[in-house]
């Protein structure tokens, strides 16, 4: 069975004091149950601090982005080497805010994925359709394009270091819309099926697919209990220890009731 995974994406939030307090509270509240993998992704300036606060806990450190080069004249950018140096194990790539607000193309994201994997980072690769695309019945086409172009040419070995976060753009960031557990399950099944066609059934079987889209303690059980929903990428509710830890508890509960993989 694929292990459940809960990731906190702090986006461009927190101050030094808040990041320190939040990381300390999450580490302290995590307990010793190791059936769920947990990671938090603070803003770049707080990676070292948060890494320090997480020391000795079972919470891993991740980054929200990188630039696809080891070093060089790239003013303002952060390399995979720097992330590893700061203790990052994970990096989020292809987030919809980077695709739609910052204009990142599938080709650029593909380059980042390759460089991150080559460097030894574990990639959390985000895909998802906008509301207009869903309403125009283009969900399948969009997911297909993002998968094909974002992961083109990756080896089966490299793919064992990559998981996918399905994030319907219309349901993230407090949009007021929520995907139902059935909608999440259906989209995950589409992704896993297509992934299997491209990379083989074996890769599809071990692939972790997380759901992201305003996940909160109230709907976490319903979402995480769905076949094929292997974890959650949490934005808003990762900014306070209590709801984030409650979602981790929901994931732990789901490990006690194994479900059939979709």
Q: Could you list the active site residues?
A: 95, 167
Work out the widest C-alpha separation in the chain, in whole angstroms.
51
**CB of residue 234 to ligand PEP, shortest distance in Å:** 5
Residue from 29, 43, 173, 196 touching ligand PEP (CB under 6 A): that is: 173
Three-state SS annotation for 95-128: CHHHHHHCCCCHHHHHHHHHHHHHHCCEEEEEEC
Sign of the C-alpha dihedral computed for residues 131, 132, 138 and 141 taken in this order: negative
Cβ 82 to ligand PEP, closest distance in Å? Answer: 22
User: 157: burial class by Cβ within 10 Å (0-12, 13-18, 19+)?
Assistant: exposed
Please check whether residue 144 is in contact with residue 194, taking contact to mean a CB–CB distance below 8 angstroms.
Answer: yes
- Contact pattern from residue 199 through residue 238 relative to ligand PEP, giving x for each residue in contact according to CB under 6 A and a dash for the rest: -------------xxxx-----------------xxxx--
The least CB distance from residue 89 to ligand PEP, in Å, is 18
- The alpha-carbon radius of gyration of the chain (Å, integer) is 17
Selected range binding ligand PEP among 16-24, 68-76, 168-176, 188-196, rule: CB under 6 A: 168-176
Instruction: Pick the binder of ligand PEP from 167, 228, 247, 251 (CB under 6 A).
Output: 167
Strand partners, 126: 165
- Per-residue binding string, ligand PEP, 45-74, x by CB under 6 A, is ------------------------------
Assess contact for 228 and 262: CB atoms under 8 A. Answer: yes
In the complex, which residues of this chain contact ligand PEP (CB under 6 A)?
A: 9, 167, 172-174, 212-215, 233-236
């Amino acid at each position: 069975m694929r292990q459940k995974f809960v990731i906190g994406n702090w986006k461009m939030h927190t101050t030094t004091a808040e990041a320190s307090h939040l990381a300390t509270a999450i580490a302290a509240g995590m307990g010793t149950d190791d059936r769920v993998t947990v990671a938090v992704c603070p803003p770049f300036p707080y990676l070292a601090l948060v890494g320090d606060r997480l020391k000795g806990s079972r919470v891993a450190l991740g980054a929200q982005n990188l630039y696809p080069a080891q070093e060089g004249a790239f003013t303002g950018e952060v390399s995979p080497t720097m992330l590893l140096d700061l203790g990052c194990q994970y990096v989020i790539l292809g987030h919809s805010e980077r695709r739609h607000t910052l204009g990142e193309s599938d080709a650029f994201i593909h380059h980042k994925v390759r460089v991150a994997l080559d460097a030894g980072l574990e990639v959390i690769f985000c895909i998802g359709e906008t509301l207009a695309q869903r309403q125009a019945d283009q969900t399948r086409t969009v997911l297909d394009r993002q998968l094909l172009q974002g992961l083109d040419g990756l080896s089966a070995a490299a793919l064992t270091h990559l998981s996918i976060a399905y994030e319907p753009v219309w349901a993230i960031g407090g949009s007021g819309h929520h995907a139902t557990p059935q909608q999440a399950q259906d989209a995950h099944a589409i992704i896993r099926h297509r992934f299997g066609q491209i990379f083989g059934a074996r890769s599809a079987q071990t692939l972790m697919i997380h759901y992201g889209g305003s996940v909160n303690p109230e709907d976490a059980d319903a979402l995480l209990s769905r076949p094929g929903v292997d974890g959650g990428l949490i934005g808003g509710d990762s900014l306070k220890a209590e709801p984030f830890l409650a979602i981790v508890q929901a994931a732990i509960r789901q490990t006690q009731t194994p479900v059939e993989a979709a």
